[in-house]
Structure 1
Amino acid sequence: MKKEKNIIGLIILVFLLMGRSAVLAGDKEPVDYVNPYMGNISHLLVPTYPTIHLPNSLLRVYPERNDYTGDVLNGLPLIVTSHRGSSAFILSPYQGEEDNISPIESVSYDFEKLTPYSYSVYLDEQETEIDFGLSHQSAIYNIKFRKNEDSYLIINSTEGGLKWDGESVLGHQIVQSEMGGNQTRIYLFMALNETPSEVFVLKDGELVKKSEATGSDACIVLKFPKGVSELNTRYGISLIDARQAKQNMKREVENASIEELQKKGRSEWNDALGQIDVKGGTDDDKTVFYTSLYRTYERPVCISEGGRYYSAFDGKVHNDNGTPFYTDDWIWDTYRATHPLRVMIEPELEADIINSFIRMADQMDEFWLPTFPEITGDSRRMNSNHGVATIIDAYRKGLHGFNLEEAYKAGKKAVTEKTLAPWSGAPAGELDAFHDKHGYFPALKRGQDEYVPEVQEHEKRQPVPVTLGTAYDEWCLAQIARELGMDDDYNYFRSRAYNYRNLFHPETHFFHPKDIDGNFIEPFDYKRSGGQGAREYYGENNGWVYRWDVQHNIGDLVQLMGGQEEFVDNLDAMFAEPLGVGLKFEFYSQLPDHTGNVGQFSMANEPSLHIPYLYNYGGAPWKTQKRIRKLLDQWFRNDLMGLPGDEDGGGMSAFVVFSQLGFYPVTPGLPMYNIGSPTFREAKVKLPNDKDFKIVTENYSPENKFIQSATLNGESWDKPWFLHKDIAEGGVLRLTMGKYPNKKWGTQKSQAPPSFSLD
């Protein structure tokens, strides 16, 4: 009997150990939750791209196809020039008749597997297997031909030049922003494991025995004999010159295998994503979270190469003096949440980025802070100058590794000397003089033609977002001036930070455009007025969204609307108001950027991101908790249409990261966060001082989305917000959750989040 019991015990132990092993074998690391295909198909706006890259690296690639459902790959990319740009240099493997060779081979494909650090695919007609691994400025393609035929590599540059020098391929491609600016050249150095038997130039469909091609659609063709069934191409990319591209290749990939690159890339991604650890929730919840976090690392990109970098802001090569240089940052989108996220988890990186902004200003003739820096220079897209928000937000949260005075000078000059007209880099003109005198950007009268040269034909004046956005920028300038002890500047910009009041309609409680005579434009429809994209009065979004665009002074907006009850009623009305037309396509044909709708709210565009948190200011935090969880469930999913649309370099994804954690920075520049409703049972944010900030939920379950009570760092907490300093040294926000709202928690006026100042 004793022997039987021992056997039974041994069997149980074996099964327990087997179960434990299975659990360990099934454990996922953070990068395993990333789904680069999430959101690749959007409702109307530019979707996400399945991008292979290391965190904040110059070398980014994604499959060249018309959209995710496209059945054809247009060659293999060597580098993507921007988030929405096409590739510089396309590589096409080919086997077949020479007469059929084209500059870029378009082929159907199968068995595609893509991660943030690797790519593999099978090319159907070519019967070719592709494997890819990359580093920061270099990569390797492994190409296996399955046909017993002559094999070719076709290398294409859209506008530039390519050359076979007897040992390697050298090339350059000219890239220029559609908004003008300096030309940028991307240089290529490519080494092969086999020497071609013949080299051709493809020109006008003819193969010519030459080794150098230049101009539009420059294309060289390398031919290899039948016995060559496998090719390895190791290449480096540079913005400086081909010699530097070669050095980048030799430094990063010359002695590495694809497997080693992929292993190292995986490790780098786990290090970056692992700065936030989440527990609880479903696998889909974690996929949405870590995919969103991965997308915040796609820009800006580090373009320092061996201690030097090429700057399109002055067209010169500079020494970086030990501080890496970053560009390609769409600040209008990323100031809201991406930069604040980086302040929290990557402060050294954020300081380097702000130092890059200051360098850009210094390299430009005007010493203006950039608004939309790309590898081709500052494209001055969108409206306002929100770089000042990234500066004051970082500084007030403890980042002092940059020259605040120089940053202030550049920001002040950008706001006061450059025109406020959207999408323009022109100096200030008559509209800006009017704005300085009257405190608002004027709209054209009904039927009046545009007569101001700095106004861009398609983007129009956008007078409401310009007025509101500039009021916020001037509030940011006031806060920086205060930190610098510049009392006169502080008082001047502080007074101008209230300019949004000049467009507040006292009867409708909307922000309503005025003409040059100070009259509200009439008749008016807050849903539809303003022409294409509502740009004659707003910008991409309608008046319902811009009703809330006073990020720096929500408390004053509450009072303008008549108090907390009216404020909450107006928020409710926005989420309930229908599109107002019989067919959706009528609405979206005019407002294609205003998608992801819940009523008139647009989850798909960045000016809406802070709006769900505004119930906290109106004494109804339970409505913020409900709305955030519903929006996350409705619009962010682990599938091809898992984003509502306008994901600009982490702009929207950072909203998801913060919101799933359970808090959000409504006002960059005020070092505080609004509390929402966390997705996970527990989340741990690793701070740079080797301490952690934890968000822990008691009574956790997916349906328990309402906060019943809270403690912060062990003390009872009854406010729907907290300060950055509460977490900077590590701490715990503990939330007790329930299925039904506690309509007393955080509802007192004295508990509302601060606005304008923490004083």
Structure 2
Amino acid sequence: MNRSLKLSPIATVAAMAVVCSALFAQKQPVDYVDPNIGSIGILLTATMPYVQWPHGMARIAPITTPGIQDRYLADKIYGFPAGPAVLMASTGEASTSFAAYASDFDHDFETATPYEYAADLQTWKIHADLTASREAVYYRFTFPASQHAHLALSLGKKSHIEVVNDHAVQGSEELDGPIGQLVHASGTTSQYFYAEFSKPIASYQTWAGTQLAHAAQQSGNHIGFVSDATAQAGDVVEVRVGISYISTEQAKSNLEREIPTWDFAKLKSATRDEWNSALGKVDTVGGTEKQRTIFYTALWRSMGRMTDITEDGRYFSGYDYKVHNADGHDFYIDDGMWDTYRSLHPLQILLDAHRQEDMVRSYIRMYEQSGWMPSFPSVAGDQQVMIGHHASPMILDLYNKGYRDFDVQQAYAAMKKNATETTLLPWNRGPLTSLDKVYFDKGFFPALAWGEKETVPAVTGEKRQAVSVTIENSYDDWSVAQLAKALGKEQDATYFTKLAHNYANLYNPAIGFMAPKSADGNWVVHFDPKLGGGQGGRDYFTEVDAWLYTFGVQHDVAGMIQQMGGRDKFNAKLDRLFVEQYGTSKFAFLGQFPDATGLVGLYAQGNEPSFHIPYLYDFSGQPWKTQRRVRQLMDVWYGDGPLGIPGDDDGGETSSWYVLSAMGFYPVCPGSPVYEIGSPIFEKTVIRMGNGKDFTIEAHNVSAQNKYVQSAQLNGEPLNKPWFLHADIDQGGTLVLEMGDKPNYSWGSASSDAPPSMSNPQP
């Protein structure tokens, strides 16, 4: 007789828990990554579902409807990158129009992972699938029955395309040059591709402009290639594309080296394994499924930049327009130092410091080839965006953490030259102006006086941003001073230390804010700390207002606290930042300060100058407030959907803040080898550092409510301060935090417990 097994409700729940636990255990880090997080931008740039190896040159995502900045809301796919070309499949009419090949798509019929992107091209009833290696891409298109199955390659300005044989097409396109390039060099940068098809090209046409022709080559603007074949239902055509910045021959070599066979599944598996290995450098236990999805997606986004463009031991440089031997050290471009020095590079140092050494070597090479240390290096040269010379703290940070396999003397020469011979003006790396002389001689970058008209031709539409320029460059000058001191250059160290105090000249105690001064040394009258400075505050600030930049002194928090009248007054001001309202309607405030997204009071999690501010309570005797705030910011402003990034991710910088904060610590002042403690969300985090050592963070009893540190141990010894040194963990170690649901007001609160800074240089 058959008997059905019946479980009690308790047993049923227990059995389900076992099953869920088993499924949870089987999930690997790469399985948590959702590339569509942030694909609706809070402000400017939405994220993209890139398929790319860590730091790989091939970075591939579908090209969606032009003009729709929020990619997730786009209605069509126009094609896929094939180096400089756009590759698209269709069954419509052959055309010279890029738009004619576009297709509707639906996210419900889409696969987006770090190692594969796939979507149904619904207009053409074609299924498109892609994966990538470091320098090549592999496409697979599954066609319906059709008399006209097309593969089209489109290129833009100053391009060339050539049909090599019945299986291959190659070409190139000249890239746009950098913004406001210094006049040190002249030349062009091009990108090349070599594409192979799995089936012979039965028939094809090329075009230039609007004219289709049976020609094997085309050159000029807006050119392309389209094949034509008959397809049976289910026919698969694959395309392998090598890309290069050196030549079409090198593109072909890259393809043959990286994708030597027609085996899509093999490459996809290898790319998945590569990401699993990279993401596995941080092993976590605990947290919710949502938190793990946000975390590993943020970690994935933190591993895309900088981009390694070394090809067969050589690289093309947009800094002298020559091809160089890499000499065993890869060449990296694609960075944005205004923000990435803050948390992206410090995170990458923890995960792979030796790669960071090659990144610094790359900056030094750019300096040697162009005469300047760039701020926003691209493949075509320095983009010269934003303010400051923040390669200096990045280099100092690596040096002070003990990684010095680069020419330190040459790095210092570059840092010093940038600090003394190029203007501090925003979005400008030209020669010194009269405004820079005020900074050097009087100790601040001057703003226009009330009613004064601009007379300095070098000032652009980005205005002077005088207060932010003073604060951020005083930090850069501190970085130069610290490296000068380490290298025994005492005269330089004294000079740059003096400049590092320039921030103090703009604190106005009468109003309790950093404020602008005109060149005569007088405070600008009628200054409003909340709404002053015009659009984006740019007369005085960089995208935000005095409420944020008053707390912007990363290198001298102790001096900043003293300036504000001591800990109590500092804490009261910091408390108020997180609740202060807009002084007008929120609509009007965001109209003036659209970059100030992710608001909590006037704190803006969506803009990078804010990132260190929640951790300042560690310096002022109230670390429990840091613990509360970082949890709030992670919970409120980071999500697991298309709106999951609080502002521009800026190539992973905003994501890297989450990664570090979720692990439980953050570097307030890169260049100082110190980490300030926050509130981890995982029970256990193991960071597998690039030197083969593990750093473990254990948070006992951690939960949504248990966010407050009760006590701590570091490497088996009591830790009664809310910070630790990189030297404490560089050979591995364990940080144990006992967590509870009430603040421990005594832990880390003594004056002697504060982290070091310029005015408090304890070890």
Give the TM-score normalised by the residue count of structure 2.
0.94
**In 2 relative to 1, CA 97–688 (structure 1 residues): closer, same or farther, beyond 3 Å?**
closer
Q: Which residue of 2 aligns with 1:500?
A: 503
User: Quick one: distance in 1 between partners of 2:688 and 2:149?
Assistant: 50
Q: CA deviation at 1:100?
A: 8.8
- Note closer, same or farther for the CA distance 1:128–1:504 as it changes in structure 2 (3 Å cut): same
Could you tell me which residue of structure 2 aligns to residue 179 of structure 1? 179
Contact between 2:96 and 2:209, CA under 8 Å: does it hold in 1? no
Alpha-carbon distance change, 236 to 743 in structure 1, aligned in 2, over 3 angstroms:
same
The equivalent of 1:83 in structure 2 is: none
Which residues of structure 1 form unaligned runs of 5+?
A: 80-87
Cα distance per residue 1:354-402 (max 9 Å; x no partner) = 00000000000x2x21111111111111101010101111011010111
The aligned counterpart of 2:184 is none
1:403 matched to 2:407: yes
How do 1:644-683 residues align onto structure 2 when only pairs under 5 Å count?
644-683=646-685
Counterpart amino acid of 2:93?
E
| Greater shift in the superposed pair: 171-180 or 264-273 | 171-180
> Aligned pair 1:78/2:82, yes or no?
yes
- Alignment of 1:616 with 2:612, yes or no, is no
Match of 2:138 among 133, 137, 140: 140
Provide Cα deviations, 1:200-255, integer angstroms capped at 9, x if missing partner.
12344442222222222111212223459321111100000000000000001121
The superposition leaves residues 708-739 of structure 1 with CA deviations (integer Å, 9 ceiling, x where unpaired) of 11111111111011111111111111111111
Contact 1:89 1:157 in 2 (8 A): yes
Closer, same or farther: CA 105–570 of 1 in aligned 2, 3 Å:
same
TM-score (norm 1): 0.94
1:394 corresponding residue in structure 2: 398
Other-structure match for 2:439? 435
Tell me which amino acid in the other structure corresponds to 1:173.
Answer: E
Could you tell me which residue of structure 2 aligns to residue 629 of structure 1?
A: 631
2:301 equivalent to 1:295: yes
Match of 2:239 in 1: 233
Query: Are 1:704 and 2:703 an aligned pair?
Result: no
Cα deviation for residue 702 of structure 1 reads: 2.2
CA distances 1:500-546 after superposition (whole Å, capped 9, x unpaired): 01111021121101111111111011121111111111011111110
RMSD: 2.0
Deviates more, 1:57-66 or 1:657-666: 57-66
CA distance in 1, matches of 2:563, 2:718: 32
Change (3 A) 1:750 1:17: closer
Preserved CA contact (<8 Å) 1:201 1:211: yes
What is the CA–CA distance in structure 2 between the aligned matches of 1:550 and 1:148, rounded to whole Å? 64
Change over 3 Å in CA distance of 1:220–1:103 after alignment to 2:
farther
Alignment: residue pair count: 736
Instruction: Give the letter for the 2:466 counterpart.
Output: P
Which of the residues 73, 91, 113 maps onto 1:95? Answer: 91
Asked whether the 8 Å contact 2:618–2:754 carries over to 1, the reply is: yes
Change (3 A) 1:232 1:180: farther
Show CA shifts across 1:99-153 (max 9, x none). 6965652210131101111111111110101111110000111111113322111
Matched residue type, 1:463: A
Secondary structure at the counterpart of residue 150 of structure 1: strand
**Does structure 1 conserve the Cα–Cα contact (< 8 Å) formed by 2:98 and 2:154?**
no
Change (3 A) 1:567 1:163: same
Cross-structure match for 1:31: 30
- In the TM superposition, what is the alpha-carbon distance from 1:754 to its structure 2 partner? 1.1
**Is 2:250 the counterpart of 1:248?**
no
**What are the within-5 Å matches in structure 2 for residues 140-539 of structure 1?**
140-159=138-157, 160-167=159-166, 168-177=168-177, 179-181=179-181, 183-226=188-231, 229-364=235-370, 366=371, 368-456=372-460, 458-539=461-542
Secondary structure, aligned partner of 1:281: coil
Q: 1:396 to 1:71 in 2, by over 3 A?
A: same
- The amino acid across from 1:197 in the alignment is A
One-letter code of the match for 1:501?
Answer: A
Contact 1:173 1:186 in 2 (8 A): yes
The answer as to whether partners of 1:129 and 1:144 remain within 8 angstroms in 2 is yes
Equivalent residue, structure 2, for 1:576: 579
C-alpha contact 1:52 1:60 (8 A) present in aligned 2:
yes
Q: Is the 8 A contact 1:672 1:722 kept in 2?
A: yes
Structure 1 counterpart SS, 2:703: coil
Residue 16 of structure 1, CA deviation = 8.6
Of the structure 1 ranges 192-201 and 328-337, higher mean CA displacement relative to structure 2 is found in 192-201
Give per-residue Cα distances to partners, 1:686-705, cap 9 Å, x unaligned.
12332211111122222100
What is the alpha-carbon distance in structure 2 between the residues aligned to residue 18 and residue 653 of structure 1? 32
**Which of residues 553, 563, 566 is equivalent to 1:550?**
553
Are 1:677 and 1:707, in contact at CA under 8 Å, matched by a contact in 2? yes
Q: Which one-letter code corresponds to 1:42 in the other structure? A: G
Amino acid at match of 2:89: P
Amino acid in the other structure paired with 1:416: T
* 1:78 Cα deviation after fit: 2.2
Give the ranges of 4+ consecutive aligned residues of structure 1 lying more than 4 Å apart after TM superposition. Answer: 15-22, 99-104
Q: Is the 8 A contact 1:64 1:77 kept in 2?
A: yes
Give 1:585 shift: 2.4
- Confirm or deny that 1:50 pairs with 2:53: no
Q: Find 2:103's aligned residue among 104, 107, 111.
A: 107
Give the Cα–Cα distance (whole angstroms) in 1 for the partners of residues 399 and 138 of structure 2. 40
Q: 2: distance between equivalents of 1:104 and 1:116?
A: 29
**Structure 1: which amino acid aligns with 2:733?**
G
Q: Comparing 298-307 with 37-46, which one deviates more in the overlay?
A: 37-46
Answer yes or no: is the 8 Å Cα contact 2:721–2:754 preserved in 1. yes
Q: Which runs of 5+ in 2 are unaligned?
A: 182-186
Aligned residue identity for 1:96:
G
